[in-house]
């Protein structure tokens, strides 16, 4: 910073009175580039498809649990999703409300485990409602008795049942409470395991409590393709069209025809036991198999146990195009290719 002497200051004041101030040189300011802080400690294992699926299951659970719990507690209750986060397993422990009861849920038939956390004060409120009381004032945490623990198991079952139904619709799996207030619940995943945390607000009588669901990546890895919807898309692509299965169940009459011949009425009336009818088709051609009125294949007559049956020997499509028929017909053993005549 430049310091001006008294004489120069006086000269500048006089010049200002006459309107003759020197023009200042324009200054150029450099705008600093924007810097975005990236937290590399936050995992990104759960993709957008996984998060959408889990959020959809959470919304379904809240809608179903509202009705079920309000009916069982005989008091209006509302569950509302607050938000989700993807953190390490250790970091998610800090999101659990203090004095929460932890329930370990097993994903069947996979056998992996997730954690459901519920504030103890809310559990006590629910216990009072189950015993005929009312949540008129916020309850204080206290030591649970044996009767309290028995009712708490019933409460967690009532919460997990609609949650299990939502997961069954999402990924074809169910949830089951295997341990309540487990001291080693925090040990079901490694400290750095990517974990999807869902926080749900529970409102009852103008009081608010929290419910948390912690889903480690290792718990859903065996079914992650179903949760993201990719497995269903692959099945539809393999079938070619979603209408494949409904159309595949349409019944079609299949008949076997030896041959046909035109005969006069008097010749038909003259037939009797022992009569021989000569067909125009060569005997080496065997019989023809029809699906309704559409010719399908050639076959040889025979039997399968006590029943008449035919064995496929070739398809009319092969004879017309000279190409090999679809592999799904050829892959079946001969015993499975036989059809009742």
Q: What is the mean pLDDT of residues 10-15?
A: 72
pLDDT of residue 252: 86
Q: In what order do the strands lie in the sheet with 207-216?
A: 77-88, 194-204, 207-216, 113-119, 100-108, 174-180
pLDDT of residue 19: 59
pLDDT of residue 86: 92
Q: pLDDT of 51-66, one tens digit each?
A: 999 999 999 999 999 9
Q: Please say if the pLDDT value at position 337 is more than 60.
A: no
pLDDT of residue 34: 56
Give the confidence band of 334 by pLDDT, cuts at 50, 70, 90: very low
Q: Please say if the pLDDT value at position 332 is more than 50.
A: no
Q: What is the mean pLDDT of residues 214-230?
A: 87
Specify which of 20-29, 40-49, 120-129, 175-184 reaches the highest per-range mean pLDDT.
Answer: 120-129
Tell me the whole-structure pTM to 2 decimals: 0.57
Give the H/E segment covering residue 209.
strand 207-216
Measured CA to CA, the distance from residue 316 to residue 289 in angstroms comes to: 10
Measured CA to CA, the distance from residue 71 to residue 42 in angstroms comes to: 40
**Mean pLDDT of the chain, nearest integer:** 80
Q: Please say if the pLDDT value at position 256 is more than 50.
A: yes
337 Cβ contact partners less than 8 Å away, ≥ 6 residues apart: 311, 312, 329
Q: pLDDT of 167-208, one tens digit each?
A: 999 889 999 999 988 677 778 888 889 999 999 999 998 889
Q: Are 126 and 156 in contact, with CB atoms under 8 Å apart?
A: no
Give the confidence band of 35 by pLDDT, cuts at 50, 70, 90: low
Q: What is the mean pLDDT of residues 71-90?
A: 91
Q: Please say if the pLDDT value at position 319 is more than 80.
A: no
pLDDT of residue 325: 42
Q: Please say if the pLDDT value at position 321 is more than 60.
A: no
Give the confidence band of 24 by pLDDT, cuts at 50, 70, 90: low
DSSP 182: -
Set out the domains of the chain in order of their start, with CATH numbers.
Answer: 48-234 (3.40.1550.10), 252-340 (2.30.330.10)
pLDDT of residue 105: 94
Q: Please say if the pLDDT value at position 215 is more than 60.
A: yes
SS3 230: helix
Give the confidence band of 340 by pLDDT, cuts at 50, 70, 90: very low
pLDDT of residue 2: 55
């Amino acid at each position: 910073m430049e310091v001006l002497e008294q004489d120069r200051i006086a000269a500048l004041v006089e010049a200002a009175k006459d309107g003759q101030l020197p023009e200042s040189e324009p200054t150029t300011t450099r705008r600093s580039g924007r810097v975005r802080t990236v937290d590399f400690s936050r995992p990104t294992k759960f993709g957008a498809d996984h998060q959408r699926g889990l959020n959809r299951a959470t919304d379904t659970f809240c809608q179903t649990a509202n009705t079920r719990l309000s009916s069982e507690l005989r008091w209006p209750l509302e569950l509302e999703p607050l938000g989700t986060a993807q953190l390490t397993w250790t970091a998610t422990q800090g999101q659990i409300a203090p004095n929460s009861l932890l329930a370990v849920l097993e994903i069947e038939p996979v056998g992996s485990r997730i954690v459901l956390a519920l504030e103890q004060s809310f559990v006590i409120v629910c216990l009072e409602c189950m015993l005929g009381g009312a949540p008129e004032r916020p309850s204080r945490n206290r030591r649970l008795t044996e009767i309290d623990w028995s009712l708490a198991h019933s409460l967690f079952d009532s919460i997990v049942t609609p949650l299990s139904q939502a997961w069954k619709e999402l990924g074809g799996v169910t949830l089951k409470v295997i341990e309540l207030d487990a001291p080693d619940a925090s040990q079901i995943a490694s400290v750095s395991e990517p974990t999807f945390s869902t926080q749900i607000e529970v409102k009852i009588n103008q009081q608010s409590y929290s419910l948390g669901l912690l889903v480690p990546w290792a718990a859903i890895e065996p079914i992650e393709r179903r949760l993201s919807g990719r497995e269903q898309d692959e099945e539809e692509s393999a079938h070619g069209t979603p209408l494949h299965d409904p159309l595949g169940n349409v019944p079609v009459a299949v008949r076997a025809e030896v041959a046909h011949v035109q005969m006069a009425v008097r010749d038909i009336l003259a037939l009797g036991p022992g009569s021989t009818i000569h067909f125009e088709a060569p005997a080496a051609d065997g019989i023809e198999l029809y699906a309704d009125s559409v010719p399908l294949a050639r076959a040889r007559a025979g039997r399968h146990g006590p029943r008449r049956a035919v064995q496929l020997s070739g398809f009319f499509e092969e004879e017309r195009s000279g190409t090999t028929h679809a592999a799904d017909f050829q892959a079946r053993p001969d015993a499975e290719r036989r059809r009742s005549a």
